[in-house]
Amino acid sequence: MRKFGVIGNPVDHSLSPMIHHEFAKEFDIELSYEKILSPVDAFNLTAEKFMSSGSSGFNITLPFKINAYNFADDLTDEAKAAGAVNTIKIDNNIIFGENTDGKGLVNDLERNLEQTLRDKEILIIGAGGATRGILKPILDKNPEKILLANRTKEKSLRLANEFSEYGKVCGFGIDQIKSKPVNIVINATSSSIDGTMLNLPKGLCEGALCYDLMYGSETPFMKWALKDSALIISDGLGMLVEQAALSFEFWLGKKPSTRPVINLIRERVDL
């Protein structure tokens, strides 16, 4: 039996075990997938212990994605650009670090929400770790441009500058967002966690696809987008399942079907 897991703190809420067990059923693969709570100051020790217990792969969630980046011997281009790792695979004693978050979002937008990103104007709100993880995979799809707005303007300017080698990104302050509609609005701030709503201008979401990286049936951002006449509104559950599918493929070389798992979670789990 292959042994996988997710290391985090907290980790109790994680839907990853359920998702990976569903993927495994599709291919008749026997695997275990457990939640591993690590002390915040002992990620390496926790990871090493899990590896010596026979695991050859695991996911990493908050707050350890940067620790995992430093822990890996070798990094994929996505992990390098993100500066963070959410998937580790051990092969021939080499620890490989990958980041599937951004490609997971792109797959959800393209496959499940049937959006094309090419030539689109995309506003991303937030300039923290989540945004860093999604910028390169989105820019690889050749949007017209990414507008990057953040409460602390300096952070969005810095990030825009850093990622401009991959495509057009303009950084500015959240208070400088114009009410002019864009094609896609992505909330990559952590504001939904504490239930606060961002102060955004009216008309921004008119006719747009509005996407919250957080999952949950109705985040404050999603409620606001609905009032602001957004065309399509989505939480980040599809991204969660898509990033898991890419981790599964990284470990086992098989591409699981994601839609049935997204539907199953919506049915079974009170998000």
Tokens of 50: 């899990």
Q: How far is CA 87 from CA 109, 118, 203, 224, 247, in A?
A: 21, 27, 38, 33, 6
Q: Is there a catalytic annotation at residue 180?
A: no
How many residues touch ligand ATR (CB under 6 A)?
15
Does position 38 bind ligand ATR by CB under 6 A?
A: no
Q: How far is the CB of 130 from ligand ATR (least distance, A)?
A: 3
Among 55, 86, 150, 219, binds ligand ATR (CB under 6 A): 150
Question: What is the Cα–Cα distance from 252 to 9, expressed in whole angstroms?
Answer: 26
Residue 188 DSSP label? -
Residues 191-220 binding ligand ATR (CB under 6 A) are 191, 196, 198
Does position 190 bind ligand ATR by CB under 6 A?
A: yes
Q: Are 207 and 196 in contact (CB under 8 A)?
A: no
Binding-site residues for shikimate sit at 14-16, 61, 86, 101, 215, 243
Catalytic residue among 35, 49, 65, 254: 65
Please, which residues have CB within 8 angstroms of residue 148's CB and are 6 or more apart in sequence? 124, 127, 131, 135, 156, 159, 160, 169, 170, 171, 172
- Amino acid, res. 50: F
Does position 104 bind ligand ATR by CB under 6 A?
A: no
Binding-site residues for NADP(+) sit at 77, 126-130, 150-155, 213, 236
Binding-site residues sit at 14-16, 61, 77, 86, 101, 126-130, 150-155, 213, 215, 236, 243
Among 19, 36, 123, 127, binds ligand ATR (CB under 6 A): 127
Does position 151 bind ligand ATR by CB under 6 A?
A: yes
Please, which residues have CB within 8 angstroms of residue 85's CB and are 6 or more apart in sequence? 60, 65, 68, 69, 71, 72, 75, 79, 97, 98, 99
Does position 126 bind ligand ATR by CB under 6 A?
A: yes
Q: SS3 for 7? A: strand
Contact residues for ligand ATR, defined by CB under 6 A: 126-130, 150-152, 155, 174, 189-191, 196, 198
- State the catalytic residues: 65
